[in-house]
Amino acid sequence: MATATPPPSPPPPPPPADFWTVLSESQRILKAHSRHFLALSVLFLLPLSFCVAAYPTLHRLLLSSFSSFSDPYHAQALLRCFPLLNQPLEHHQSSVDASSVLVSVGYTCFLTLLSICATCSITYSVVQGFYGRPVKLPSAIKSIGTSFFPLLATLICTQAITSSIVIGSGILGFLILKGAELAIGHEISYSSPYFLGLAATIAVALVLMLAYLQVQWDLVNVVVVAELSYGFAPLRRSAYLVKGMRGVALSLTLFFGVLSGFVVCIGTLSTSESVIDGNEWRRWYFVAQIVSTSSCLTVLMQLSLAATVVLYMYCKALHGELAMEIAEEFAREYVSLPFDDEKVLCRARLIDS
């Protein structure tokens, strides 16, 4: 009588989904479709990085051109060439202020546009690659039309909440200060240790609150693109998914935030010593500094977007959602992704159990 063959032993448990695991998985996804992500980076991330890297110099050039109104020689030359400029100084000052505001608003809108386009296309591509679907440039560009306005609406919601918290903290500090002045019977000086202590306490509490919200909302953009939701719903969804992975989310936020800030600071300090004479773009070291800063920022932002998607997948696996989706997608026992030699479905099931 033949004996029944015993069931195969389960595979060994995979390593835990920590900070380095998320980074390594992100790098594998980017390498598997390197030309695709390079094209998206050149289209959206590189112009965004260039604007961030070159903004200090462009801002100083703009201020330098505005300050020429106060130079008597330039002012007389302008008046001779343009008689319409022979108007009161207050008019010139208001024109300069209006121009500065318009340039700042236009710059912010342009950066927001590039950022949303990059987030839509790269997030969509990483999600497609994770599930083993074809990753094509036209589809990634087309996803911008689907996710642009949902991302914009969600961004407005997050900024509204953040602004309300900041304004509320300021109002709370003002009320505490006035209450203390009424209690002691005299005005508290801004240089007194009591006022400085109150300001420091409110500032620390505000920073901690904003950091907590940043971790809670770390997956918002991926939720909007992958699940086609918008508004406040992605905020609640992200807060639910990130439970159990807040440490990894905080590590990723600090890692990319500190590195990006360091690169921007180094680039700003390196270009701030140059003389504003209109010939900055002819100096090879100045151009090299802008190019190197833009390239580093592009790589960091690309890896950050991919890491956020990978973290989203691990969070779904932790909550028992990823294994079901992969099983429905492929309808077979094990799935080997094109960018990973390990059995991701097995890993998701083990995390779920």
Question: Per residue in 39-50, pLDDT tens?
Answer: 999 999 999 999
Closest to 21 measured CA to CA, from 353, 347, 320, 349: 347
- Each as own residue / partner, the long-range contacts of residues 16-24 (CB below 8 Å, 24 or more positions apart, any chain) are 17/245, 17/248, 17/314, 17/317, 17/318, 17/351, 18/248, 19/248, 19/251, 19/252, 19/255, 21/314, 22/248, 22/252, 22/307, 22/310, 22/311, 22/314, 23/303, 23/307
Q: How far apart are CA 158 and CA 187, in angstroms?
A: 37
pLDDT at 195: 84
In a domain, 298, yes or no: yes
The residue behind tokens 């932790």 is: 318
- When computed from its CA atoms, the radius of gyration of the chain, rounded to whole angstroms, is 26
Q: In terms of residue numbers, what domain contains 158?
A: 24-72+95-119+131-319
Look up residue 202 and give its two tokens.
Answer: 């409110």
Instruction: Judge whether 315 lies within some domain.
Output: yes
DSSP string, 280-292: GGG-HHHHHHHHH
Between CA 119 and CA 191 the distance in angstroms is 45
Q: What is the full per-residue pLDDT of the chain (353 aa) written as tens digits?
A: 445 555 544 444 444 578 999 999 999 999 989 999 999 999 999 999 998 888 777 766 665 555 554 444 444 444 444 444 444 544 445 555 666 777 778 888 999 999 999 999 999 999 998 887 888 999 999 999 999 999 999 999 999 999 999 999 999 988 988 888 888 877 877 788 888 888 899 999 999 999 999 999 999 999 999 998 999 999 999 999 999 899 999 999 999 999 999 998 888 777 665 545 555 555 677 778 888 899 999 999 999 999 999 999 999 998 888 776 666 665 544 444 444 444 444 444 444 44
Q: Is residue 79 part of a domain?
A: no
Q: What is the pLDDT of residue 158?
A: 96
CB 180 within 8 A of CB 194: yes
- 334 falls within a domain: no
* Predicted pLDDT of residue 304: 96
Global confidence as pTM: 0.78
In a domain, 173, yes or no: yes
Q: Does residue 229 form part of some domain?
A: yes
In a domain, 39, yes or no: yes
Total structural domains in the chain? 1
Residue 86 belongs to a domain: no
Separation CA 311–CA 21 (nearest Å) = 10
